[in-house]
Structures are given as structure tokens and as C-alpha cells.
């Protein structure tokens, strides 16, 4: 991870009003997290805005930039989007053409498979999630959350994605909670009375896995055989770990 931050705009002028506004808002407090260049004409940039710490409490501090340069016209087009949770900042860049593998934040990795699968779902969610608000706390072990409305949810449509960054372990966790409305979700954020309430579809999947495991156990008992997991390693083909990378 490097702190060098340069969008490569020298000698170019803004192609439109939005580009002018974004360029004028650039400052020295941006710290580069990831940059992916496609030749000299386009760059996808993810940066940490340390100046956000001194602004409104909880201000979103991850800035995603999409830079398009037209050297022949000596112009640039610049777009920016602020986020609290990393996966949503990455999603914004992915949807604009950045390869997902170019956005990995070495050496940080998801702490568990649940975090990995959840961020993968966010990357490919399209317009499923309508972002309503976000909050970021910086410090030793930082926490951030993004609140969305899940357009595909049959119940409890307000979803809260909570990210905990563990700097010492160089890892992070990402979890999803489900709520009936935004006020209830905000109340949880304020009080944190317990674990995030799971999404109904996650409860159904967990129940299905439990039923399947019970069915396998019952069938094994009826046949007088041990469950597959109890068979000595020499009796089954070895399987390699799936593994993953960001």
C-alpha cells in the first residue's frame, strides 16, 4: 500500500463541469490504496480520504475515481464516488470496467469465507442494492457500515453491511444484518444490543444445511454405517482446499 496519489491530469483540462468540480476538490490528504491503469487513457483509483476524519463524524472516507484522458484533445473526464464499506467502493469501479482482481488490497484479506462470499455478492449485485447511508470510524481497528434497501428482499428489506478492519491481523470481516426499516437499523448501530439480525434467506439456507446434515446422519444410522466424515482418510479420495484470492 502506497501513499502516492496522482491522477495524471497534468497538461489536461476538464471536459465538463462535473470533472471540474471533482478536480477542484482534490487535496493532499488522499492516500492511494489501489490504482489500475489501462494504457495512458484510463485509470481506476481507490483512495483513503484522511481529511474526512476532520469533517463530519462518521463521514465516508473511501473515494473511488474513474479517470478518462483524451490526450489528443488535451482533456480529461473525472468521476468520483464516496463510500464507507470497501466492497461498495470496489463495486462502483468494477461496474465502470475495472477488473475485480485489480482491486485487491494486499496484504489485507477477508478473515473468513462468509466475508469473502458476501463481498463477491456485492460486486455482482448490479442495481439490487439502493444505498441509503454510510458511516465510517477510523482508528486502531476501524469499523464502517453501509445501509441499503434490498430490492430483491421479500421481507426485512433494509440491509446493513458492517465491515470491521483488524489492522493487527491484516484482515477484515464483512457481515449483513436485516431490518424492517431504516430507523430500526440506525437504532442497532447506536446501541448494538447484540449480533446483527440475520437475513431471512440466510436463516433458510442455514436451516436447509442443518436438515441435509440430519438426513445424512439418519440415513447412515439406518444403514449401520458411519457418516462419510467418519471414514478414515485412506478410504476416501483426498480433496484439496478450494482456496481464494482477492
Mean pLDDT confidence for 139-159: 91
Return the pLDDT at 160.
98
Cα 79 to Cα 97: distance, rounded to the nearest angstrom: 13
Crossing angle of helices 86-94 and 113-123, rounded to 10°: 40
pLDDT value at residue 202: 79
Write down the pLDDT at residue 103: 95
pLDDT given for residue 208 in this prediction? 55
Q: How many CA atoms lie within 13 A of 39 on its CB side?
A: 6
| Range of lowest pLDDT (28-42, 68-82, 222-236) | 222-236
The full length of the chain comes to 246
Q: Mean pLDDT: which of 17-21, 25-29, 207-211, 225-229 is highest?
A: 17-21
- Reported as type and span, the H/E element at residue 145 is strand 143-150
Q: What is the pLDDT of residue 201?
A: 85
**Highest averaged pLDDT of the listed ranges 44-58, 85-99, 157-171:** 85-99
Report how far residue 102's alpha carbon sits from residue 37's, in angstroms, rounded to the nearest whole number.
10
Q: Which of 25-34, 108-117, 135-144, 159-168 has the lowest mean pLDDT?
A: 135-144
Q: Is the pLDDT at 1 greater than 80, yes or no? A: no
**What SS3 string covers 199-242?**
CHHHHHHHHHHHHHHHHHHHHHHHHCCCCHHHCCHHHCCCCCCC
Sheet holding 42-49, edge to edge: 13-14, 75-83, 62-70, 42-49, 30-38
How far apart are alpha carbons 194 and 35 in whole angstroms? 38
Pairing of strands 129-137, 143-150: antiparallel
48: exposed, middle or buried (Cβ count in 10 Å: 0-12, 13-18, 19+): buried
Q: Grid coordinates 491530469 are at which residue?
A: 9
Instruction: Give me the phi and psi of 243, to 5 degrees please.
Output: 70, 160
| % of residues, the chain, pLDDT over 70 | 79
How many Å apart are CA 177 and CA 194, to the nearest integer? 11
Q: Give the pLDDT band of residue 234 (cuts 50, 70, 90).
A: very low
Determine whether 7 is exposed, middle or buried from the number of CB atoms within 10 Å of its CB (0-12, 13-18, 19+): buried
Amino acid at each position: 500500500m502506497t501513499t502516492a496519489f496522482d491522477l495524471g491530469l497534468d497538461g489536461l483540462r476538464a471536459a465538463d463541469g462535473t470533472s471540474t468540480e471533482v478536480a477542484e476538490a482534490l487535496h493532499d490528504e488522499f492516500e492511494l490504496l489501489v490504482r489500475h491503469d489501462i494504457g495512458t487513457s484510463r485509470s481506476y483509483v481507490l483512495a483513503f480520504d484522511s481529511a474526512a476524519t476532520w469533517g463530519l463524524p462518521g463521514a465516508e472516507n473511501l473515494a473511488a475515481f474513474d479517470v478518462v484522458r483524451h490526450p489528443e484533445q488535451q482533456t480529461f473526464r473525472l468521476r468520483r464516488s464516496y463510500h464507507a464499506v470497501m466492497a461498495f467502493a470496489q463495486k462502483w469501479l468494477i461496474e465502470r470496467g475495472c477488473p475485480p482482481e485489480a482491486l485487491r488490497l494486499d496484504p489485507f484479506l477477508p478473515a473468513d469465507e462468509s466475508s469473502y462470499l458476501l463481498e463477491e455478492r456485492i460486486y455482482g449485485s448490479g442495481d439490487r442494492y439502493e444505498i441509503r447511508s454510510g458511516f465510517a470510524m477510523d482508528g486502531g481497528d476501524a469499523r464502517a457500515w453501509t445501509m441499503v434497501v434490498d430490492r430483491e428482499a421479500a421481507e426485512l428489506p433494509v440491509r446493513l453491511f458492517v465491515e470491521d478492519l483488524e489492522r493487527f491481523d491484516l484482515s477484515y470481516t464483512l457481515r449483513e444484518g436485516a431490518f424492517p426499516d431504516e430507523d430500526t437499523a440506525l437504532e442497532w448501530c447506536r446501541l448494538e444490543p447484540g449480533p446483527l439480525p440475520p437475513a431471512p434467506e440466510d436463516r433458510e439456507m442455514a436451516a436447509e444445511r442443518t436438515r441435509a446434515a440430519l438426513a445424512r446422519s439418519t440415513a447412515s444410522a439406518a444403514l449401520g454405517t458411519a457418516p462419510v466424515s467418519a471414514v478414515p482418510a485412506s478410504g476416501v479420495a483426498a480433496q484439496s482446499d478450494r482456496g481464494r484470492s482477492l
